[in-house]
Amino acid sequence: MKTELLQRQALTMKTKGKKGPQPSTLIVFATFSTDKKGNKSQNNVSLPELKDNVSIRLNKYIDEKIFAGKNQEYFLLRDVNCDGYANLLLIGLGDEKLLSAEKIRLAVGGLSQFLKTQKIGRALLDVESIKSVDTSLAIKALTEGILLGAYEFNELKSDKKNADSNKVTLLVENESEEILQGYKEGLVVAECTNFAKRLGDLPGNFLTPSILAKEAQKASAGTGIKFEAWNLARIKKEKMGGLLCVNQGSKEEPRFIIMEYRGAGAKEKPFVLVGKGLTFDTGGISIKPSAHMDEMKYDMCGGAYVIGALLAIAKLKLKINAIALVPATDNMPSDTATKPGDVYTARNGKTFEVLNTDAEGRLILADALSYASELKPRAIIDAATLTGAMALALGNIHTGYFTRSDFFSQEIEKAGTRAGEAVWRMPLCDHHLDDIKGIVADISNISHHKGAGASTAAAFLEHFVEPGIPWAHFDIAGTAWAAGNRLSYVPKKGASGIMVRTFVELAKAASLKGNFAQE
């Protein structure tokens, strides 16, 4: 699916010029406000000069509540010759007073699949009726909703179709700065999120640590990002004991991916994004049950999503220095694999005992967070499909995050709201640190107590962040995958891309405020 912007006054010229296939379908939005009793009191279907027969039919359907304008409701009238278009599609936005950028994203999230099933290749979308949301945000949300909703992972099917030539043209009043800005941001964010989703969807044999690094390197070309990926020898030299411990049982070499974007002066402290790049998690010697183990190919989504966010930050040319760090390996059982009880030393010198080899994400993040701290950053965030406990606690709507900083927490809440992604602060306190005290080493990689598994995992990570650096850990185990039963623009099964938008918003906030550390 492609999108383009078209100014209203250019429309007639374009239609007359008849360059290329013309849109067959006109899409308009319908918003409905309700009175106190919840009855529809007024509808706002912004229609062009309709032929009488079209508007009579339409009003009848609206009066009979066949089409009620609810958010994500689609209503197609075929062969009506509406303003010269063969078909007319109405999309409900819901109550105008409750309209938000996220509601717009949701309303168009199913559009490209709908057009596909209706065999409609080209459509013109009239955005005029969206008035209650800031224009730039509305255009951004529309573009994101359409392009995110169009994403499909079918490259491994033998009968995959040729490149998708479908296109939706967004008809706008003018090409003002705010419209162009919203459109550009929407394009970049959707493109980078879809890139990250593809990495998440690729199975373990198609996405080894070295392939992940190559894909990230390819995507960095032309963005101004400085790319580096350390190999096994370098990782050993850098004393990354956590990453080496997890990689111990694998034939695949690990990688430590470093992507650096400079959008501000050399003295500006960087904003560092760390992501878990576990390309397949069998559990290792503490092996996982077979059922659904296939889904552990998405254990690298934290890595994919920070790579996607950094690409977006660079493509949007945000005035900030930002660095993405992704420790990448798979977690395999073999005669060389780490055994329960083994002790290793992480990069910052702390020793840990591996009481369960399936709690591996925290071990590879340990080195990445230590390295991040050495970069003297203004803030660190990390994203990881870290614990089943997180998925159990919050399901697939809210992404749980942990931070000791109330100020940083407020910034995260605001960024989540701006992005239209739901975040929820989870507890992290000294009791959780007590729960992971080591027996023969400094720390243990699992808790000595039942419960609070997501918090004790966060406490483990905290050992590797230098005190004083604002840090937040996002456990995306519940939201990284299969959140499409909630969100129309997210695949039903497969990588969701959730949190890429929030991370980009956080980077934007950091570029404006300069520092997250003020309390």
3-state DSSP assignment of residue 307: helix
State the minimum distance, in angstroms, from the CB of residue 89 to ligand BES.
Answer: 38
CB 272 within 8 A of CB 464: no
**Of these, 93, 189, 389, 482, which contacts ligand BES (CB under 6 A)?**
389
Check 184, 239, 288, 414 and give the catalytic one. 288
* Contact call for residue 475 and Zn ion (CB under 5 A): no
Q: Cβ contacts of residue 218 below 8 Å, gap of 6+?
A: none
Choice between 171 and 386, CB closer to ligand BES:
386
Residue matched to tokens 């096994």: 232
Angle between helices 177-201 and 135-150 (to 10 degrees): 30
**Of these, 170, 257, 326, 359, which contacts ligand BES (CB under 6 A)?**
359
Residue matched to tokens 């997250």: 516
State the minimum distance, in angstroms, from the CB of residue 382 to Zn ion.
Answer: 14
C-beta atoms surrounding 394 within 10 Å: 20
Q: Which does 389 bind (CB under 5 to 8 A by kind): ligand BES, Zn ion, none?
A: ligand BES
Give CA torsion, residues 431, 433, 438, 439, to 10 deg. Answer: -10
* Contact call for residue 299 and Zn ion (CB under 5 A): yes
Check 297, 347, 362, 378 and give the catalytic one. 362
Residues binding ligand BES: number (CB under 6 A): 16
Choice between 358 and 411, CB closer to Zn ion:
358
DSSP string, 389-403: HHHHHHTTTPEEEE-
Identity of the residue numbered 180: L
Identify residues 119-178 at the interface with ligand BES (CB under 6 A). none
* Contact call for residue 281 and ligand BES (CB under 6 A): yes
Choice between 357 and 370, CB closer to Zn ion:
357
**Of these, 146, 257, 446, 510, which contacts ligand BES (CB under 6 A)?**
446
Measured from each CB, the residue nearest to ligand BES is: 388
**Of these, 23, 110, 361, 491, which contacts Zn ion (CB under 5 A)?**
361
* CA pair distance 208, 297, nearest whole angstrom: 10
Q: Which does 354 bind (CB under 5 to 8 A by kind): Zn ion, ligand BES, none?
A: none
* CA pair distance 327, 257, nearest whole angstrom: 6
Residues binding Zn ion: number (CB under 5 A): 6
Binding part of the chain for ligand BES, among 61-69, 254-262, 313-321, 356-364 by CB under 6 A, reads: 356-364
**Of these, 201, 358, 382, 462, which contacts ligand BES (CB under 6 A)?**
358
CB 1 within 8 A of CB 146: yes
CB 458 within 8 A of CB 402: yes
* CA pair distance 506, 322, nearest whole angstrom: 11
State the minimum distance, in angstroms, from the CB of residue 387 to ligand BES.
Answer: 4
Binding part of the chain for ligand BES, among 5-13, 120-128, 315-323, 355-363 by CB under 6 A, reads: 355-363
State the minimum distance, in angstroms, from the CB of residue 491 to ligand BES.
Answer: 16
Identify residues 165-204 at the interface with Zn ion (CB under 5 A). none
* CA pair distance 311, 306, nearest whole angstrom: 8
Choice between 71 and 338, CB closer to ligand BES:
338
DSSP string, 191-251: HHHHHHHHHHHS-TTT--HHHHHHHHHHHHTTTT-EEEEE-HHHHHHTT-HHHHHHHTT-S
Q: Which does 93 bind (CB under 5 to 8 A by kind): Zn ion, ligand BES, none?
A: none
Q: Edge-to-edge, what's the strand order for the sheet holding 443-444?
A: 343-345, 351-353, 443-444
362 counts as catalytic: yes
Q: Which does 388 bind (CB under 5 to 8 A by kind): ligand BES, Zn ion, none?
A: ligand BES
Q: Which helix (H) or strand (E) holds 2?
A: strand 2-7
Binding part of the chain for ligand BES, among 102-110, 241-249, 306-314, 353-361 by CB under 6 A, reads: 353-361
Choice between 187 and 202, CB closer to ligand BES:
202
Q: Which does 330 bind (CB under 5 to 8 A by kind): Zn ion, ligand BES, none?
A: none
Beta strands 271-275 and 321-331 are parallel
Q: Which does 387 bind (CB under 5 to 8 A by kind): Zn ion, ligand BES, none?
A: ligand BES
CB 480 within 8 A of CB 384: no
* Contact call for residue 279 and ligand BES (CB under 6 A): no
**Tokens (6 digits) for 285:** 């010697």
3-state DSSP assignment of residue 10: helix
* CA pair distance 15, 37, nearest whole angstrom: 45
Q: Cβ contacts of residue 500 below 8 Å, gap of 6+?
A: 189, 192, 193, 196, 305, 308, 309, 312
Binding part of the chain for ligand BES, among 6-14, 180-188, 212-220, 387-395 by CB under 6 A, reads: 387-395
Choice between 112 and 387, CB closer to ligand BES:
387
* CA pair distance 237, 231, nearest whole angstrom: 10
**How far from 265 is each of 226, 402, 503, 511, CA to CA, in Å?**
15, 30, 21, 12
**Of these, 144, 358, 382, 505, which contacts Zn ion (CB under 5 A)?**
358
Q: Which residues bind ligand BES (CB under 6 A)?
A: 281, 299, 356, 358-361, 385-389, 391, 446, 453, 477
Catalytically active residues, by annotation: 288, 362
| Contacting residues toward Zn ion, per CB under 5 A | 278, 281, 299, 358, 360-361
